[in-house]
Amino acid sequence: MSEPIAFARDRIEALRDQIRAADHAYYVLDQPVLSDAEYDRLMAELSELEAAHPELRTPDSPTQRVSGAPSEKFARVVHREPMLSLGNVQTDGELDELDARVHRMLGLPPEEPVRYVVEPKLDGLAVELVYERGRFVQGSTRGDGVNGEDVTVNLRTVGRLGANRGVPERLAGSPPPRLEVRGEVLLQKHHFAAMNQVIARQGGEPFANPRNAAAGSLRQLDWRITANRPLSFIAYEALAPGGDAGRDPGRDRWKSHWQKLQELRDLGFETNPENRLCLGMGEVKAYRDRMADRRFELPYDTDGVVVKVDDLDWRRRLGAASKFPRWAAAFKYPPQEEATRVEKIWASVGRTGILTPVVEVKPVRISGALISRATLHNEDEMRRKDILEGDWVLIRRAGEVIPEVVKPLPERRTGAERPFVFPATCPVCGARVVREEGEKVYRCTGSACPAQLVGRLTHFAQRRAMDIDGLGDKLAALLVERGLVKEFADLYAVPFEEWQKAFSRPRKVDAKGQKPELPEKSAQNMVEALERSKKATLRRLLFALGIPQVGEATAATLARHFGDLERFFAASEEELIGVRDVGKETAREIRAWTAEPQNQRVVRRLLDAGVTAAPEEVAARGFFAGKTLVLTGSLARRSRDEAKAEIERRGGKVSGSVSRKTDLVVAGEDAGSKLKKAQELGVKVVGEEEFDRLLAEPGS
């Protein structure tokens, strides 16, 4: 190599390292180490050197992350081998059953210990990376296990801002001709906290947890955003397909999973240093217990451990069931519980007027979060659990998210504890509180209750209802507090100057003693959003009104059945029962609401304000028109009813069972027998990502 080329190579690598360090300090730590001018000079020098020596330019260079347009959508990737999920176990007995099944299916004597590899269960987004002749050529999400999303460009950026090795562009050592690596994209806890701080300072909405943040960051259509998120990648599986006459080179290359993990590390991937090789189920349980004690000290979130048979030939013999491999399982830790004291119980008033008992406890840290309150749902639940004010209780985070009171500790009672009695009047507005016969909840009867009004306004304004952009909780509370809005129609009569005041910040008096003019842009945007919302459909309006038992799917069904608002209000309870999917209780609730003069007046005032309720249109063309679909498993982005409404609105039909006449099956998480039936019949199956893409297609 000539001296000039060697100098250029060294200088290029030094510049890249310096620029990446500056990116990390700026985007992750929010502590710039270079001025804008210094940063621009370094980038310009790097660009000039790469232009002079194009053979030294690489896809992971900082110069390659600042050009090109964002992708319009993700392409579909079909996994060569399905990315199966793991069956969950939660007890020692279930672990013993796993071990016994392995022994039984392999014909091993009970006393012969099986080698298992045990790994922390990572809480991130599963992906697959494909390498050909040592170069990274494609990356995809797990998706539904069969079809994933092509996020190759985004994955090239993973690890660029973190301290880990990320996704290697070129492998070290001697990789096989084709290598498929599976692992988890995640955010370390300190990266997550720093990233959320930056997002909050920029006026964005911080992510709820590291898993959501990792998934949201990797699925960005603009890969430049992903490049500025401090994502990590940890590898935990490798496949080496191909070879002559279908021969599997992985069969000869690796004899054990542990050997596979060692080579992944040698090839340049980050593997988990907490992985352990255990001989027998006794060592697996001991490892699990140690990790349970240490899991909150780890730099990433984990909610269990993954147990895998180490011998790869044994794995092939064990095979897989329809959804889970028989050679592995995920042991989920039970939600962590802590003892704390109930300081008081009080009634919270929700959007629909329901009073919910809320337990306020002495703050306690659970699963890394400080918990100070939890809901008891209703009086029956509170009495069943026998929770008293002043009690010591066990509290946990159900699903590691929602605080839940498990039970009281009666042995620690002193006699000073007292039962909570629901108030006879609303704690917010003073109206009478009632519990109707057959109901589990108490309700406030005040139609002008501020606690309900704020919630009703934000529900009315949400995207799937009247879609009034910008009208959130804080603004709704301000409108109610100032007496500007007492019911929905008042929104359309708020003077422009009041909107200006609502959006204004504290203003300083200038040198002449004059206050600056009130803001017009935000106020004008709100007025325009309100004007657009007047052109509603009947489905949106019925959902927006907050009628008891009427969610988005039921609103769509009612809109299609009745066609216009007048017919809906005139419908008797018997006519409502005749609507598909509307039962007796729902019909009774709807009729009671439509018969209430106050509610009739609310709707009449909306119509007088110019709100329209156009009939629900069913698409006569598009992908879903005339097709029969089946939904199975749980969907992350919408409820089953909401998905059904979207399909029917586009002219499709949703069936409860799979047959040869089924056109498409949408499979969410934990899909069961319907998925298996579809596969047996050869019916097309898509995951939620593909379903969303079909919904978004033009004409659908």
Rounded Cα gap, residues 629 and 553, in angstroms: 16
Query: DSSP labels for 633-693?
Result: SB-SSS-HHHHHHHHHHTT-EEESS--TT--EEEE-BT--HHHHHHHHHT--EE-HHHHHH
Per DSSP, which regions of 144-193 are E strands? 147-149, 178-186
Q: CB 298: neighbour CB atoms within 10 A? A: 15
121 catalytic? Reply is: yes
Residue from 268, 269, 266 nearest 253 by CA: 266
User: Residue for token digits 């879903």?
Assistant: 624
The HSE-up count of residue 57 (CA atoms within 13 Å, CB side) is: 12
> Per the residue annotation, which of 73, 121, 255, 362 is the catalytic one?
121
Q: Give the SS3 label for residue 75.
A: coil
Q: % helix / strand / coil in the chain, to the nearest 5? A: 40, 20, 40
Amino acid sitting at position 59 = P
Q: What phi, psi does 72 have (nearest 5°)?
A: -75, -35
Q: What phi, psi does 587 have (nearest 5°)?
A: -60, -40
Rounded Cα gap, residues 78 and 151, in angstroms: 13
Amino acid sitting at position 490 = D
Cβ neighbours for 479, distance < 8 A, ≥ 6 positions apart = 457, 485, 491, 494, 502
> Distance between alpha carbon 243 and the CA centroid of its chain, in Å?
40
- Counted residue by residue, the chain has a size of 700
In what helix (H) or strand (E) does residue 76 lie, and over which residues does it extend?
strand 76-78
Q: Give the SS3 label for residue 560.
A: helix
Residue from 684, 675, 634 nearest 657 by CA: 675
Residues known to be catalytic: 121
